[in-house]
Amino acid sequence: MTDRAIHIHGPQKLQNALLAALLARETGARCLTGENFNRQSVSNGPAKAARDLVLLDCAGKDTDACLEALEAGYGNFSRGDHWVALFNVTPSPAFEKKALETGVRGFFYAEDSPEQLCKGVRAILAGELWVSRDILTTFFLENKKEGQIKKKADPKLTPRESEILALVSAGAGNEEIADKLCISPHTVKTHIYNIFKKINVPNRLQAALWAVKNL
């Protein structure tokens, strides 16, 4: 991942410097730290096939302040050049649902171990979500109830694609899906690419939302 960058934003300089050193060692990505979170604080170089990651520190902020920081700094960044995850989050299903709607890819809590944090960051850099299944289930059910997703034409998913999409909707990563279905992670990745293309979605979250309404 030497071509990837992780931008750590927050006021805790010592903690974030140590976090940057840990993530650089464990992921191989370049890790940068800064206090302000905005579009100008992350590099806007040539477009890359793989996105960088912004980690936003929520320590000491209430949920409203975290959401304001997200909106003020990046707006809806789910279609941007970077993915965003939050760390030092206080668990709150209502807040996490709103953050997911903005495009946040994952949440890390103060009690998470360094191993959990590194595993989650690697998952997000690989294009996966790092969100608890309880939060995902709540998010999907509420979106279904509110009718926020329009019914699409039948994309003619194969039985295997439907099976994989159901597992993606449950929050399973590629390795977990591969183990469960006794296929290779590469095959899972190919299936997911084909699924995204058929149902016209850009990421796992939107695919899972589609599945809730259509499967």
pLDDT digit string, tens, across residues 59-88: 888 777 777 777 666 544 444 567 889 999
**CA–CA separation, 158 vs 34, rounded Å?**
46
> For residue 86, which of 57, 114, 113, 65 has the smallest C-alpha distance?
57
CATH number at residue 187: 1.10.10.10
Indicate the pLDDT class of residue 144, thresholds 50, 70 and 90.
low
Beta-sheet strand order (sheet of 52-57): 30-34, 5-9, 52-57, 82-89, 106-109
pLDDT digits (tens, 9 = 90+) for 122-137: 999 888 889 888 887 7
- Contacts of 71 by beta carbon, 8 Å cutoff, 6+ apart: 102
Q: Are 66 and 52 in contact (CB under 8 A)?
A: no
Q: Are residues 70 and 102 in the same domain?
A: yes
pLDDT given at position 37: 55
Q: Please return the burial class of 50, using the count of CB atoms within 10 Å of its CB with bins 0-12, 13-18 and 19+.
A: exposed
Do 183 and 126 share a structural domain? Answer: no
Per the model's pLDDT, the better-predicted residue between 136 and 20 turns out to be 20
- Range(s) of the domain holding residue 199: 139-214
Residues 90 and 34 in one domain: yes
Same domain, 102 and 200: no
Residue 205 has pLDDT above 90, yes or no: no
151, 64: one domain: no
pLDDT for residue 47 is more than 50: no
Angle between helices 159-169 and 185-199 (to 10 degrees): 90
Averaged confidence pLDDT in the chain? 80
Diameter of the chain by CA atoms? 52
So what's the pLDDT on residue 149?
A: 46
What pLDDT score was predicted for residue 92?
A: 85
pLDDT greater than 90 at residue 102:
no
Of 75-84, 85-94, 185-194, the one with minimum mean pLDDT is 75-84
Name, of 15-29, 35-49, 143-157, the range with top average pLDDT: 15-29
Are 22 and 71 in contact, with CB atoms under 8 Å apart? Answer: no
Query: 81 and 19, same structural domain?
Result: yes
Per-residue pLDDT at 50: 60
For residue 189, pLDDT over 50 is answered with yes
Mean predicted confidence (pLDDT) in 181-206: 91
Q: Is 151 exposed, middle or buried (0-12, 13-18, 19+ CB in 10 A)?
A: exposed
Three-point CA angle 84, 62, 9, nearest 5°: 35
The two three-digit tokens of residue 46, written as one number: 């040539």
How many domains would you assign to the chain? Answer: 2
Boundary-marking domain end, from 131, 161, 192:
131
> Token pair for residue 113?
């171990």
